[in-house]
Amino acid sequence: MDYQQAINQNYHQDNLIRTIEHALEKSGKEITALTREDLRFFDEFHIGGRAATRELGRLARLAPGTRLLDIGCGIGGPARTLAAEFGCQVTGVELVESYYQAAVALTGWVGMSAQVQFQLGSAADLPFEDNSFDVLWSQHLIMNIADKPALFQEMRRVLRPGGRLALYEGFAGPLSPPHYPVPWAASPSISFLTDQDSLRQMLADAGFQEEQWHDLTDASLDWFEKMIASQTARSADGPPLLGLHLLLGPTAGQRMANVRRNLTENRLGIVQAILRG
Ligand SMILES: C[S@@+](CC[C@H](N)C(=O)[O-])C[C@H]1O[C@@H](n2cnc3c(N)ncnc32)[C@H](O)[C@@H]1O
């Protein structure tokens, strides 16, 4: 199986748009009157959800009109947040077709297609001209990328000189391997965690200058504890209809539990960083 097939196998869900539509309708939402708020339990596919995106946006000093590329944009939640809350002109690029199609559909449903566009494509070969963006955005993507030096070179190519790279990513903790399955990989074949120091060195070698680097591993674990408590409260009347299980399918619970376990056992760390290109 090649890389693209393996990534697809990990993330693809049959009839994703219909599944999301059905879950929204069952929870009392009208598709013709949806807001971003209605999508908040599942459209940001990373630790910390929308709050983490807001915090990274503030750190990156995003401003109205910023041309921003979200690489590995999932179903487009962060892209919509950055357009709605910071006024950015956002493009999302995504490798998995069902996620890309869901990103386009959800953005249309909430009336944001003029501010946010999506393209199907690979982070390894970004379908954009040189110097096209002011800010590059990468949340929980690089764990799926084996050749990080090549990725960082490709990022430099599409980033205008002096532009910023905003990262919110996983790295290898002092213990390995992580327990699988995790949300980004059912098995080690598409999981490429690098330790924090090597990651910093690879970014520096690619010519990125570090402006901010924050290890958020402990904060990520806190978020997990709160998320689990809130899910338990929400599920008093049965499992919640809206959640990341829509994107991850039936193994969602086990995958999320392994992220928490990997964080607890120092097999996974989380970093938030801003770098200048
Ligand atoms: C954990 S999800 C995070 C999605 C999104 N960044 C978010 O935070 O909501 C990782 C995403 O990266 C995408 N991805 C993985 N490898 C990719 C690649 N080589 N090129 C583009 N997208 C990729 C996956 O399909 C998936 O949508």
Residue 163 has pLDDT above 90, yes or no: yes
Q: Is the CB of 169 under 6 A from ligand 1?
A: no
C-alpha of residue 43 to centroid of ligand 1, in Å: 12
Residues 13-20 have a mean pLDDT of 96
Q: What pLDDT, on the 0 to 100 scale, is given for residue 226?
A: 87
Confidence of residue 225 (pLDDT cuts 50, 70, 90): confident
Measured from the CB, is residue 72 less than 6 Å from ligand 1? yes
Atom number of ligand 1 nearest to Cα 183? 1
pLDDT for the residue 256: 92
Question: Side chain identity at 47, as an amino acid letter?
Answer: I
pLDDT digits (tens, 9 = 90+) for 54-98: 999 999 999 999 999 999 999 999 999 999 999 999 999 999 999
Under the banding of pLDDT at 50, 70 and 90, the label for residue 239 is confident
Instruction: For residue 4, count other CB atoms closer than 10 A to its CB.
Output: 11
For residues 103-112, average pLDDT: 98
Domain residue spans in the chain?
Answer: 3-276
Q: Is 48 in the pocket of ligand 1 (CB under 6 A)?
A: no
Of 239 and 59, more confident = 59
**According to the model, what pLDDT value does residue 61 have?**
97
At 153, is the secondary structure helix, strand, or coil? helix
Block residue for tokens 């190519």: 157
Q: Which of 7, 81, 270 to mutate to test the pocket of ligand 1 (most atoms within 8 A of CB)?
A: 7
State residue 108's pLDDT score: 98
CA–CA separation, 91 and 83 (whole Å): 10
Q: For a pocket test of ligand 1, which of 9, 40, 80, 95 has the largest count of ligand atoms closer than 8 A to its C-beta?
A: 95
Quick: pLDDT tens for 174-224: 999 999 999 999 999 999 999 999 999 999 999 999 999 999 999 999 998
State the pLDDT at residue 24.
Answer: 97
> What number of residues does the chain have?
277
> Is any ligand 1 atom within 6 A of the Cβ of residue 11?
yes
Q: In the CATH hierarchy, which fold is given to the domain comprising 3-276?
A: Rossmann fold (3.40.50)
Beta strand segments in the chain, E: 67-71, 89-94, 116-120, 133-139, 159-172, 209-215, 268-276
pLDDT of residue 139: 98
Residue bearing the CA closest to ligand 1, atom 27: 74
Q: What pLDDT shows up at residue 22? A: 96
How many angstroms separate the CA atoms of 73 and 221, rounded? 23
**pTM of the full structure:** 0.97
Distance CA 159, CA 244 (A): 31
- 118 CB less than 6 Å from ligand 1? no
Please tell me if the CB atom of residue 138 comes closer than 6 angstroms to any atom of ligand 1. Answer: no
pLDDT band at 240 (very low <50, low <70, confident <90, very high): confident
> Distance between terminal CA atoms of the chain?
35
Q: Which of 7-16, 59-68, 225-234, 240-249 has the lowest mean pLDDT?
A: 225-234
Q: Say if ligand 1 is within 6 A of residue 46 CB.
A: yes
